[in-house]
Amino acid sequence: AKDMGPDLEKILVTEDEIKARLAELGARIDADYADRDLLIVGVLKGAVMVMADLARALHSPVSMDWMAVSSYGAGTTSSGVVRILKDLETDIKDRDVLIVEDVIDSGLTLSWLVGNLKSRGPRSVEVCTMVRKPLAFEVDLDVKYIGFDLPNEFIVGYGLDYAEKYRNLPFIGTLAPHVYEG
Ligand code: PRP
Ligand code: MN
Ligand code: MG
């Protein structure tokens, strides 16, 4: 397989910066849930990297579960109408739940997901995202733990894909135009 290097334009967040930020977020989460039995929920597939690294930045024995959701409708932007492709295996009634995402773009996926999980009677639902983009400010969504606020550019890496590729870059960056232009 070909090397990804020539497909990249610039690196926005380095591997070291991600690691340092996760250590800070991990310390906050450890403190905030010190006397709680925390369940972290990763949203497949983008959140796989941040779930794996955040979990290892925590010092308490959290539970981990996963959901897969999909926006209805065509196009590259989410419609806000979401269906569950894979549901939790955990009953979250009375549980403290922390949803973990790679990126909040329009915020529509997470607005729906927070509402869905809150309807199951959890003790609390909070959100942790590695990246937040500016559009997310236009929806009513409380995000307690944020890695990086980034501008509205098309970014890949650390879980974020372009046409299902580039998730495995260990940093976050932008793609060179030739990738889109084919
Ligand atoms: C991406 C990303 C978030 C969501 C954010 O997932 O991982 O889950 O979109 O978009 P929004 O804030 O505009 O709703 P995607 O649906 O591409 O699936 P993936 O995680 O499998 O890439
Ligand atoms: Mn996703
Ligand atoms: Mg995607």
Residue nearest ligand 1's atom 13 by CA: 106
3-state percent helix, strand, coil for the chain, nearest multiple of 5: 30, 35, 40
Q: Is the Cβ atom of 107 under 6 angstroms away from ligand 1?
A: yes
What gap in Å lies between CA 152 and CA 3, rounded to an integer? 26
Sign of CA dihedral 128, 134, 136, 138: positive
What per-residue confidence (pLDDT) applies to 11? 97
pLDDT at residue 74 greater than cutoff 60 = no
Q: Give which of 117, 113, 80, 78 is closest to 97, Cα–Cα.
A: 117
pLDDT at residue 71 greater than cutoff 90 = no
> Which of ligand 1's atoms lies nearest the C-alpha of 69?
16
> Among 64-73, 94-103, 134-143, 170-179, which is the least confidently predicted range?
64-73
Neighbouring C-beta atoms of residue 84, cutoff 10 Å: 13
pLDDT at residue 148 greater than cutoff 60 = yes
What per-residue confidence (pLDDT) applies to 76? 59
What per-residue confidence (pLDDT) applies to 2? 87
Tokens of 148: 């990086």
Q: Is the Cβ atom of 48 under 6 angstroms away from ligand 1?
A: no
pLDDT tens per residue, range 87-129: 999 999 999 999 999 999 999 999 999 999 999 999 999 999 9
The mean pLDDT of the chain is 94
What per-residue confidence (pLDDT) applies to 158? 98
What is the whole-number distance in angstroms between the Cα of residue 35 and the centre of ligand 1?
A: 32
Q: Which residue has the higher pLDDT, 106 or 73?
A: 106
What per-residue confidence (pLDDT) applies to 163? 95
Average pLDDT, integer, range 65-94: 85
The CATH number corresponding to 15-71+80-151 among 3.50.50.60, 3.40.50.2020, 3.40.640.10, 3.90.1310.10 equals: 3.40.50.2020
Tokens of 150: 């980034």
What per-residue confidence (pLDDT) applies to 79? 65
What gap in Å lies between CA 141 and CA 57, rounded to an integer? 25
Q: Is the Cβ atom of 46 under 6 angstroms away from ligand 1?
A: yes
Q: Say if CB 49 and CB 58 are below 8 A apart.
A: no
Q: Is the Cβ atom of 173 under 6 angstroms away from ligand 1?
A: no
> Among 28-37, 45-54, 78-87, 135-144, which is the least confidently predicted range?
78-87
What gap in Å lies between CA 128 and CA 16, rounded to an integer? 19
Residue positions annotated with a catalytic role = 105
Instruction: Please identify every residue whose CB atom is under 5 Å from ligand 3, which is an ion.
Output: 161
What per-residue confidence (pLDDT) applies to 45? 97
Domain ranges of the chain: 15-71+80-151
Residues sharing a CB contact under 8 Å with residue 136, sequence separation 6 or more, in sequence order = 104, 105, 106, 107, 143
Residues sharing a CB contact under 8 Å with residue 161, sequence separation 6 or more, in sequence order = 45, 46, 167
Tokens of 133: 């983009």
What per-residue confidence (pLDDT) applies to 181? 85
Residue whose pair of structure tokens reads 């909040």 in the numeric block = 104
The HSE-up count of residue 174 (CA atoms within 13 Å, CB side) is 11
Which of 43, 84, 108, 137 is the best mutation target for the ligand 1 pocket, counting ligand atoms within 8 Å of the beta carbon and taking the most?
A: 43
